[in-house]
Amino acid sequence: MSNWDNKNIVIIGSGAVAHYFTNLFIENGISITGIHSRNETTGIDIAQLYNIPFYKVLSATSGDVYFVAVKDDAVIAIINELPKTASVIYTSGIIDLSLIDHPNCSVFYPLQSFDGDLSVKAEDIPILIESKSTESNLDLQQLCKLLGLPCFLVNSEKRKQIHLCAVFINNFISINFSIN
């Protein structure tokens, strides 16, 4: 039994990253107690697919852990609305953890482009993690182990550098192939 078995996890977001990890959590026996998304259509679709309650209003959610998988420009504003007693995990590659004014905040950055394909193998997705506490780092390492994800502890500066390199390489390859 892990400490992830009894947590109430709320997913915030309904894009490809949120959908992939909702699916991966459920496939591995980790319960999701709610989904919230600005995009009501895709949020409801994911919620119905997995038989999870959808919350139109963020303040109506209640969780021990909030998994924030939204566009980078929305991350900080959403986290500022979450209870300070909950744990918050966000998936951005570029937002420095020190910019987040939440005491229980961590980064869970998948170094992977997501396009809605749920068949991507977890073991092929490196996760870069960073937390405000050693205990949270250990929790995220345990989560990665449960999900079959390789993980690496990095600081915000290193994560940003890796993210920018990955974006450059991904875009260069895309441009290069489209020219030929």
Per-residue pLDDT band for 60 (boundaries 50, 70, 90) equals: very high
Stretch 27-44: mean pLDDT, rounded? 96
Q: Enumerate the domain spans of the chain.
A: 9-179
CB 116 within 8 A of CB 99: no
Euclidean distance between CA atoms 136 and 134, whole angstroms = 5
Mean per-residue pLDDT over the chain, rounded:
90
CB 66 within 8 A of CB 82: yes
- Cα-trace Rg, the chain: 16
Instruction: Please state, for a pLDDT cut of 70, what percent of the chain lies above it.
Output: 90
Stretch 60-89: mean pLDDT, rounded? 96
pLDDT confidence of residue 117: 82
Stretch 149-176: mean pLDDT, rounded? 74
Per-residue pLDDT band for 164 (boundaries 50, 70, 90) equals: confident
80-89, 109-118, 141-150: range with lowest mean pLDDT: 109-118
Per-residue pLDDT band for 70 (boundaries 50, 70, 90) equals: very high
DSSP 8-state symbol, 152:
E
Nearest partner of 4 among 37, 14, 113, 24, judged by Cα:
24
- pTM as predicted: 0.90
Its CATH architecture, for the domain 9-179, is: 3-Layer(aba) Sandwich (3.40)
